[in-house]
Amino acid sequence: MTNYVSGKVTLQSDFFCGTNPIDLIEEYGSPLYVYNEKILRSRCRELRSLLKYPRFQVQFSAKANSNLTLLQIVREEGLKVDAMSPGEIYIQMKAGFSPEDIFYVCNNVSADEMKFAVERGITVSVDSVSQLELFGKVNPGGKVAVRFNPGVGAGHNEKVVTAGKRTKFGVDPELINEIKDVLNKYDLKVVGINQHIGSLFMEGKPYLDSVKALLDIAGQFSSLEFIDMGGGFGVPYHKQQGEERLDLEALGIELDKVIAEWVQGYGREITIKVEPGRYVVAESGIILGTVHTVKNNYGKKYIGTDIGFNVLARPVMYNSHHDIEVYRKSDAKSAVNEPVTVVGNICESGDIIAKERLLPEIFEEDIIGILDCGAYGCVMSSNYNSRLRPAEILIRKCGEVQVIRRRDTLEDLVRNF
């Protein structure tokens, strides 16, 4: 019988519904990405009810997770998608999204990459005067969206703050006249304006402020069909410490007010979108891995696992925290909680999942679960050290398990040589 060594996390307790981590690892190999369909669907539904405004749309930012099966579920739930590359567009169309459901929010792309979207009838957002010129050449007389930088940013790490005065993204509103000149030059029609201030806010205020700034800019374009307020909705990564959820309801009420007022001034209802990635998928994914080593090095206890930063890059890249659970097949009891450093199997000292984390005593062959890894987990994995990227499996509603991406094979490593 599986012994759940750390039973502290209530929110994820029925995550494995009908299965258990030990059996899953035995059957599908370690490490392993596990998703829960029910959680994914419920997050989609929460977001769809964010606003009461009738022409409201949720657009999933698929860079957070572009697994084909998960995209299909998101589509079934009535969400649209944004794409960052021709590759994302390609997968999204395979998942059944129609061109009207896809918004290409690109950055510094080539003419060919723009054509890829234009030829498929997908709306493109440009985020510089320079890229607008390129779009004009690729698609004169066409429809386009412009991404503005409202001058307000937010995010959990400076690497993911995508607006404000210190980032490469968006058009500075001061350049609006230059934008208008290029629009005229190529007879382009602005159908949308959009922004994305950054990733992971837990308080609604910066988002709300940025929306107000965007709406001011929007008032300067009479031909709009939509405004896209961006993503960034945070999830509580510190659930074991009781971190509160983002108050979506309160944010929704404030947004509804601001939007209703703006629409009245604008004179007609247009589509209003949000563009979340993390909020949709983060909590529906867990990484399972195996403890191969327990050692003391100069007074520090290390737990050596097979979850290197090729499997999960977030802790190394952003110093991100992920809660950890421990599962055990044997009857061995963890007597105490102790500070340990949980590491992977990559040949770099920075290959650390959690530093000096207080966890129940861990033994070799224990299975650990890294929680809230559904967003920016598998999509950021790599074959560094010629390691195989893990399989992804999905726990369906009824407890049945489906492989939704097979584990790499050794042949995959040499396929393109």
Catalytic residue numbers? 347
Quick one: 191 or 235, whose CB is closer to ligand LLP?
A: 235
The secondary structure of residue 390, as a DSSP letter, is: P
Q: Which of 24, 200, 255, 394 touches ligand LLP by CB under 6 A?
A: 200
CA dihedral 324, 327, 332, 336 (to 10 degrees): 20
**Contacting ligand LLP within 372-411 (CB under 6 A):** 375-376
When binding is defined by CB under 6 A, the residue of 5, 51, 64, 197 that contacts ligand LLP is 64
Q: How far is the CB of 375 from ligand LLP (least distance, A)?
A: 6
8 A C-beta contact, residue 277 and residue 160: no
For ligand LLP, the closer of residues 196 and 328 by Cβ is 196
Please say whether the beta carbons of 218 and 266 come within 8 A: yes
Of these, 25, 160, 218, 367, which contacts ligand LLP (CB under 6 A)?
160
Between 153 and 360, CB nearer to ligand LLP: 153
Angle between helices 205-218 and 248-266 (to 10 degrees): 10
What 8-state DSSP symbol labels residue 233?
Answer: B
Within residues 233-272, the interface with ligand LLP by CB under 6 A covers 233
Shorter beta-carbon distance to ligand LLP: residue 82 or 366: 82
In the complex, least distance from residue 266 CB atom to ligand LLP, rounded to whole angstroms: 23
At residue 288, what is the residue type?
L
The Cα–Cα gap between 227 and 321 comes to 33
**Cα 135-141-147 angle, rounded to 5 deg:** 45
Instruction: Please report how close the Cβ of residue 417 comes to ligand LLP at its closest, in angstroms.
Output: 29
Residue with Cβ nearer ligand LLP (279 or 309):
279
- Measured from the Cβ of residue 250, the count of other Cβ atoms closer than 10 Å reads 11
β pairing state of 352-360 and 300-305: unpaired
Site map (CB under 6 A) of ligand LLP, residues 92-121, x = contact: -------------x----------------
Q: What are phi and psi of 39, to 5 degrees?
A: -65, -45
The stretch near ligand LLP (CB under 6 A) out of 128-136, 179-187, 192-200, 212-220 is 192-200
- Please, what's the largest Cα pairwise distance for the chain? 74
**φ/ψ of residue 186, rounded to 5:** -110, 10
| Binding interface with ligand LLP (CB under 6 A) | 61, 63-64, 82, 105, 160, 162, 196, 199-200, 230-233, 275-279, 314, 318, 375-376
